[in-house]
Amino acid sequence: AQKVTQAQTEISVVEKEDVTLDCVYETRDTTYYLFWYKQPPSGELVFLIRRNSFDEQNEISGRYSWNFQKSTSSFNFTITASQVVDSAVYFCALSEESTGANNLFFGTGTRLTVIP
Amino acid sequence: NAGVMQNPRHLVRRRGQEARLRCSPMKGHSHVYWYRQLPEEGLKFMVYLQKENIIDESGMPKERFSAEFPKEGPSILRIQQVVRGDSAAYFCASSPPSGQAGGIYGYTFGSGTRLTVV
């Protein structure tokens, strides 16, 4: 069973639009960690955020915000006023305490294209 | 303070050859993790190593793949007799020892090695 589901394979938005990337996860652990990574066309992985399962506070960092909802097992990511530089593949990932919290389960990614 | 260094950045091998991918962890990091990203897919965990020890190899293919992290030098992911299906990006991550700053708290990824098998 897929532990992390990113149902949106590709999204295109026009510059300055807001966009939300969905992430739904599945775990039986009470202690777990959720991540978002950005993979620009150059291919490297850029860490964006890590949250643990006990911290449901939403977070905002500049134009980025994250909405963690344990009730729906979702950790969605919103980019406000999108820019062309936001074009990338975005991955959501999960780490579980029961496996030692040493490895990450990645979703299949959402490719975001921001059109100028 | 150099990050996680992977080399080569790009590697081309003919079918049947061996591929050796290197990963030098960040200074102070003693744990290394290898992931594989097949085209148009997410990353999949392969193996977790500490110095001279394989801790978790649950994601490693049973044949042709091996990994090591010697006492001195970089971690090596070795693929013998490569096939077209091995073409992928291979990412390495490192972290400090487990604890508040360790494990997934201290995860840092390298830039990856893109292996192409022709």
- Determine the average pLDDT of the residues in A9-19: 98
pLDDT in tens, A95-112: 988 877 778 999 999 999
Give me the residue label for tokens 């091995």: B86
Q: Which residue of A has its CA nearest to B109?
A: A45
pLDDT in tens, A42-96: 989 999 999 989 988 888 889 999 999 999 999 999 999 999 999 999 999 999 8
Distance separating alpha carbons of residues A97 and B30, to the nearest angstrom: 20
Burial of B56 (0-12, 13-18, 19+ CB in 10 A): middle
**B101 has a pLDDT exceeding 60:** no
B109 to A47: CB separation less than 8 angstroms, yes or no: yes
pLDDT in tens, B23-79: 999 988 889 999 999 988 889 999 999 999 999 999 999 999 999 999 999 999 999
**For residue A95, how many other CB atoms are within 10 A of its CB?**
26
**A116 has a pLDDT exceeding 50:** yes
**B103 has a pLDDT exceeding 80:** no
**A36 has a pLDDT exceeding 90:** yes
**Nearest Cβ partner of A33 from B45, B91, B104?**
B104
CA distance A104 to chain B (A): 7
pLDDT at residue number A20: 98
pLDDT in tens, B3-23: 899 999 999 999 999 999 999
pLDDT over 90 for what percent of chain A?
Answer: 78
Distance separating alpha carbons of residues B43 and B63, to the nearest angstrom: 20
**CB under 8 A, 24+ apart: contacts of A27-33:** A27/A3, A27/A73, A27/A94, A27/A96, A28/A98, A29/A53, A29/A96, A29/A97, A29/A98, A30/A97, A31/A96, A31/A97, A31/A101, A32/A94, A32/A95, A32/A96, A32/A97, A32/A101, A33/A94, A33/A95, A33/A101, A33/B104
Q: How confident is the model at residue B98 (pLDDT cuts 50, 70, 90)?
A: low
A104 to B104: CB separation less than 8 angstroms, yes or no: yes
- Determine the average pLDDT of the residues in A20-44: 94
pLDDT at residue number B42: 87
**A22 has a pLDDT exceeding 80:** yes
B89 to A101: CB separation less than 8 angstroms, yes or no: no
**Nearest Cβ partner of B112 from A44, A91, A103?**
A44
